[in-house]
Structure 1
Amino acid sequence: MAYYIPVILVGAIVTASLFGVISWLRKRNIKASWYEWLIGIAGLALLLLAIQHLFGAMTELFPFAAWVGFAIIGVPALILLLVAWQLVARKAKQS
């Protein structure tokens, strides 16, 4: 039962974040392009993979591998998420 608590927390955070982003876009009447959604989804998928790798490697008692893998997978995820955010923010600034 305790294994599901981090999974539930990650799911709740992802759901709240997606709800916040979509409501922010609707409030400002911004239409995101398909490639902005694709970059954001790829970044989110990589971030979730990094979190899963961190939890899995920590469970297997490999803390160094957990943090290194988290950094290797998480940094490109954050870069993709920042690129998607900047594309949408520039579109918001223009309108």
Structure 2
Amino acid sequence: MEYFIPFALIGAFIAVGLYALTGWLHSHNIKVIWYEWLIGILGLGLLLLAVQHLFGAMSELFFYAAWMGFAIIGIPALILLVVAWQLVARRVKQS
């Protein structure tokens, strides 16, 4: 129960961020294909999993496991997010 507020804030920031992202994409007339959304959502989900693992392992005082798990899960998450961003950016630049 001690991590309810941080995770509620993370959820609120993600909701506001996704709303702002979709508004920005719509205002700039950028179309995002379904698989780009899928890659981005998978990357975001992995990043959230990495953060949850970090908090959970830190609370159990497994500091090395916390940071290693964060790196092992977080790096592929960042790679997926960058891939999704590059797919959209290159398609927009091409047109």
Q: Which residue of 2 aligns with 1:49?
A: 49
**Deviation at residue 48 of structure 1 after TM alignment:** 0.7
Q: Which residue of 2 aligns with 1:94?
A: 94
The number of equivalent residue pairs is 95
Q: Which residue of 1 aligns with 2:85?
A: 85
Q: Which consecutive unaligned segments of at least 5 residues does structure 2 have?
A: none
In the aligned structure 2, how far is the partner of 1:35 from the partner of 1:79?
15
Q: Following superposition, which runs of at least 4 residues in structure 1 exceed 6 angstroms of deviation?
A: none
Q: Which consecutive unaligned segments of at least 5 residues does structure 1 have?
A: none
TM-score normalized by the length of structure 2: 0.91
In the aligned structure 1, how far is the partner of 2:51 from the partner of 2:36?
23
Give RMSD over aligned pairs. 1.3
**Deviation at residue 3 of structure 1 after TM alignment:** 2.2
TM-score normalized by the length of structure 1: 0.91
Q: Which residue of 2 aligns with 1:24?
A: 24
Among all aligned residue pairs of Structure 1 and Structure 2, give the percentage whose two residues are the same amino acid: 67
